[in-house]
A and B are shown apart, each in its own frame.
Chain A
Amino acid sequence: MSAGSRRGWIPWILLGVLVVGVLAWALWPSGGQSDAERARSLAHELRCPDCESLSAADSQTASARAIRRDLHERVAEGQSDATIRRAYVDRYGESILLKPEQGGLGFLVWGLPVLLLVAGAGALLVAFRRWRSAEPLQPTDDDEALVREMRTGEQAS
């Protein structure tokens, strides 16, 4: 690999590092949350059972208040977020989750956009490489004769 082609890869490597870094930052579980923050965060993920399209964190119904209290107790008992979500799904069904689960079919909802992004980047890469490796067009004898003829005409006029 020549020094020139190595330099050509640098922007791609930087782009890859940037994408991986952003994804890691966005998806990495945030550490250092207090119990209250965890309970609040979970309440935002759960649908209020007896109201429309509100989270348990945002609703003031008796059910939502009971859920918030229950979440505080479960977090204080040391239950993991996954265990708590599972307990609510067991009780209410998948519809209690405002965000689809990240396993099973829910993986498609989360994973497909990422796969599409990667596939799109791959398509762009292939297209750029093809454009770069395409042979530059060479003028034919007819082309050169046509240009000569036009120049001669310009000079004459």
Chain B
Amino acid sequence: MKHPARWVAGGIAVLLVAFSVVLATQVGSDPRADAKKSQLAGKDTPKFRVQSLDGKELTQADLAGKATIVNFWNTWCIPCREEHPELTKFYARHADDPDFVMLGIVRDDTRKAVDRWMQANKDAWTVATDPGGNAALAFGTRGQPETFAISPDGLVVGYQFGPSSAQDLETLLAAARGGTGA
């Protein structure tokens, strides 16, 4: 090797360029860029256990065989309040469908606040509390509202980060029924 120092310097330059590329593409990017998509897409519904407001325990097994919309929400979140009329409108269209279920799971709220909300709004779909936040964790939620579509065979086939419109919910339901993924 005629000029070993040049080779070493060249090697260092190459490593520095590679390091810069990694920093630019990995570390420099928004670490929460993947927050708006669910890692559960295409996977089995995670195991969870929640309690409906009338005291019944619900698990992923109770959703089997039905196209399901799972909506994480709470009473104090403004986007959830904005979303609520859309959920109501959407549910009214499908409430009589025996193969459909909509489950609202309360995320990070008190039972007292939820009871007050239900007295005022009389939501017709199933609402459940999530003691310990285990269901929110199992679904990998980062906030609320977040909505998941689950197919009758238990696969997560759609996800909406943030408030859903009635049309978004129709798209999610179509995905749950075996149409295109949302």
Q: A residues touching B (Cβ–Cβ < 8 Å)?
A: 47, 49-50, 61-63, 65-67, 69-70, 89-95, 100, 105-106, 108-109, 112-113, 115-116, 119-120, 122-123, 126-127, 130
B33 at the interface (CB under 8 A from A): yes
Contact-size category for B:
35 or more
> Which residues of B sit under 8 angstroms from A130, Cβ to Cβ?
5
| Complexed CA–CA distance, A109 and B16 (Å) | 11
Are A105 and B26 within 8 A (Cβ)?
yes
Residue from the list A49, A63, A92, A126 in contact with B8, Cβ < 8 A: A126
B21, chain A: closest CB distance, angstroms: 9
A66, chain B: closest CB distance, angstroms: 4
Are A91 and B39 within 8 A (Cβ)?
yes
Are B133 and A120 within 8 A (Cβ)?
no
Task: List the 3 closest pairs (A to B, CB-CB), nearest first.
Answer: A66-B133, A91-B140, A93-B34
B58 at the interface (CB under 8 A from A): no
Q: B residues touching A (Cβ–Cβ < 8 Å)?
A: 4-5, 8-9, 11-12, 15-16, 18-19, 22-23, 26-27, 31-35, 37, 39-40, 46, 107-108, 132-134, 136-138, 140-143
| Complexed CA–CA distance, A124 and B137 (Å) | 51
A128, chain B: closest CB distance, angstroms: 11
Are A123 and B9 within 8 A (Cβ)?
yes
If A100-B27, A130-B5 touch, whether A112 touches B132 (CB-CB below 8 Å) is no
Are B33 and A95 within 8 A (Cβ)?
yes
The secondary-structure label for the interface of chain B is: helix
> Which residues of A sit under 8 angstroms from B31, Cβ to Cβ?
47, 95
> Which residues of B sit under 8 angstroms from A50, Cβ to Cβ?
141-143
Residue from the list A49, A116, A126 in contact with B142, Cβ < 8 A: A49
| Complexed CA–CA distance, A68 and B1 (Å) | 56
> Which residues of A sit under 8 angstroms from B32, Cβ to Cβ?
95
Residue from the list A108, A120, A122 in contact with B18, Cβ < 8 A: A108
Closest residue of chain B to A47 (Cβ to Cβ) is B31
Are B108 and A62 within 8 A (Cβ)?
yes
Are A66 and B134 within 8 A (Cβ)?
yes
Are B136 and A66 within 8 A (Cβ)?
yes
| Complexed CA–CA distance, A127 and B3 (Å) | 11
Are B12 and A119 within 8 A (Cβ)?
yes
15 further contact pairs, Cβ within 8 A, besides A66-B136, A95-B31, A108-B22: A50-B141, A63-B108, A65-B133, A66-B134, A70-B137, A89-B39, A93-B34, A93-B39, A109-B22, A109-B26, A112-B19, A112-B22, A116-B19, A122-B8, A127-B5
